């Protein structure tokens, strides 16, 4: 193993006898670098949103690879470039295969490629399911913070969907100062709901934990509702469920019918990204022919250009930006490098002389 900083990849000049370096970072290394860093990662994600809001990023549309013979599965490419102090380009390649769950495997898997900004050479490949879950959870915790300002801070949280993302969101909420009196749980799978309940108990929470038999009961009993499902189309259709004006983290994007969003204040991470691929906000745009239902982005809220109302439900629908993956991935790379644990692949790049 060799400790190599990103600048080492830049300093190597192809064709002059010095090959660019390339490291592989495993999931175990990623988890070790991120464990217990919820506050730092939330601050990092906030910084990235501000950089993106200022226009110092490139975040093209995600590309969806779908399969005619496997309609519930997909693989998504998220290319991006981030400026600010991070200064890195790259690509997340993330798959979602719901059938994995019944086979005992996680639904999602991912890798992240980091590219050097000067040469374009990739300098690292990182296992990215943990990075993806962490940036999603940090974004959710950040949104919960900013969108609850000026409103009563939620004391009852409900999780609809109890997979890896829900676990990480709870971890990040708890790790960034949230303390709940009640935690509600609902999942279409009773085993999953029971497993999540067991996880919550292992965290040592003092909150009362309730497994709800219905989505309606969960929503009505929660001031903060987290949707983290694999729903492909809306299944929560009654706006009356939200008359107590909860804050909703609509992380899975396709749970809520247009009628629910039209009766709420709506914030997204990025307008152009979120209003596509038949997300719930995209369905509202198709129904109404306009985007008047949007109150702004999370960046608008942080910059003081928009504010969540206290007298309506507030829904945050984040599409998930590749720049967040890059920032968290670069954070991991730097941590592993500082620890001297980078696993370099010798001679990964081979044809480095123009004429052989």
Please give the full DSSP string across 206-270, using - where no structure is assigned.
-SEEEE-SSHHHHHHT-SEEEE----SS--B--GGGGTT--EEEETTSSSB-HHHHHTSEEEES-
**Mean of the pLDDT values across residues 204-232?**
96
**Mean of the pLDDT values across residues 340-351?**
91
Distance CA 317, CA 143 (A): 10
Kindly tell me if the per-residue pLDDT of 15 is higher than 50.
no
pLDDT digits (tens, 9 = 90+) for 97-149: 989 988 988 888 999 999 999 999 999 999 999 999 999 999 999 999 999 99
Distance CA 300, CA 267 (A): 9
Kindly tell me if the per-residue pLDDT of 336 is higher than 90.
yes
Q: Which two tokens stand for residue 246?
A: 């909860």
Q: Cβ of 80: how many Cβ atoms within 10 Å?
A: 22
Q: Which long-range contacts (CB under 8 A, 24 or more apart) does 213-221 make?
A: 213/186, 214/186, 215/160, 215/186, 216/241, 217/184, 217/186, 218/158, 218/160, 218/184, 218/185, 218/186, 219/158, 219/160, 219/246, 220/244, 221/156, 221/158, 221/182, 221/184
What's the CATH code, domain 142-317?
3.40.50.720
> Percent of the chain at pLDDT above 70?
95
Please state, rounded to an integer, the average pLDDT across all residues of the chain: 93
Kindly tell me if the per-residue pLDDT of 18 is higher than 90.
no
pLDDT digits (tens, 9 = 90+) for 296-325: 999 999 999 999 999 999 999 999 999 999
Q: Provide the residue ranges of all domains of the chain, joining segments of one domain with +.
A: 6-131+322-344, 142-317
pLDDT digits (tens, 9 = 90+) for 254-282: 999 999 999 999 999 999 999 999 999 99
Report the pLDDT value the prediction gives residue 180, as an integer from 0 to 100: 97
Distance CA 138, CA 41 (A): 6
Closest CA to 198 of 211, 181, 216: 211
128: which residues sit within 8 A by CB, 6+ positions away?
30, 92, 93, 94, 110, 111, 112, 325, 329
Three-class SS of residue 21?
coil
Q: Which pLDDT band holds residue 168 (cuts at 50, 70, 90)?
A: very high
What's the CATH code, domain 6-131+322-344?
3.30.1780.10
Q: Which residue has the higher pLDDT, 173 or 104?
A: 173
């Amino acid at each position: 193993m060799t400790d190599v900083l990103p600048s080492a990849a830049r300093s190597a000049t192809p064709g002059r006898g010095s090959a660019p370096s390339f490291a592989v970072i495993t999931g175990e290394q990623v988890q070790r670098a991120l464990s217990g860093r919820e506050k730092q990662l939330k601050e990092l994600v906030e910084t990235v949103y501000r950089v993106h809001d200022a226009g110092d990023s490139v975040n093209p549309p995600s590309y969806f690879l779908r399969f005619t013979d496997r309609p519930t599965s997909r693989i998504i490419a998220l290319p991006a470039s981030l400026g600010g102090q991070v200064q890195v380009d790259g690509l997340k390649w993330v798959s979602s295969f719901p059938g994995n769950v019944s086979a005992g495997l996680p639904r999602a898997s991912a890798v992240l490629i980091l590219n050097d900004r000067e040469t374009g050479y990739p300098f690292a490949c990182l296992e990215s399911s943990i990075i993806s879950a962490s940036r999603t959870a940090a974004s959710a915790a950040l949104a919960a913070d900013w969108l609850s300002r000026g409103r009563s801070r939620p004391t009852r949280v409900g999780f609809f969907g109890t997979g890896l993302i829900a676990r990480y969101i709870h971890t990040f909420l708890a790790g960034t100062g949230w303390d709940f009196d009640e935690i509600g749980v609902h999942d279409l799978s009773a085993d999953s709901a029971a497993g999540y309940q067991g996880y919550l108990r292992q965290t040592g929470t003092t909150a009362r934990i309730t497994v709800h038999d219905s989505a309606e009961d969960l929503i009505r009993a929660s001031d903060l509702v987290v949707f983290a499902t694999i729903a492909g189309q809306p299944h929560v259709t009654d706006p009356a469920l939200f008359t107590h004006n909860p804050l909703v983290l609509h992380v899975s994007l396709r749970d809520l019918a247009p009628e629910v969003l039209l009766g709420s204040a709506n914030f997204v991470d990025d307008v152009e990204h979120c209003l596509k691929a038949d997300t719930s906000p995209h369905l509202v745009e198709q129904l109404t022919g306009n985007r008047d239902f949007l109150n702004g982005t999370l960046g608008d809220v942080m910059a003081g250009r928009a504010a969540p109302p206290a007298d309506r439900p507030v829904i945050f629908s984040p599409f998930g930006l590749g720049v967040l993956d890059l920032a968290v991935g670069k954070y991991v790379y730097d941590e592993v490098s500082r620890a001297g644990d980078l696993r370099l692949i010798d001679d990964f790049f081979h044809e480095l002389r123009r004429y052989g």
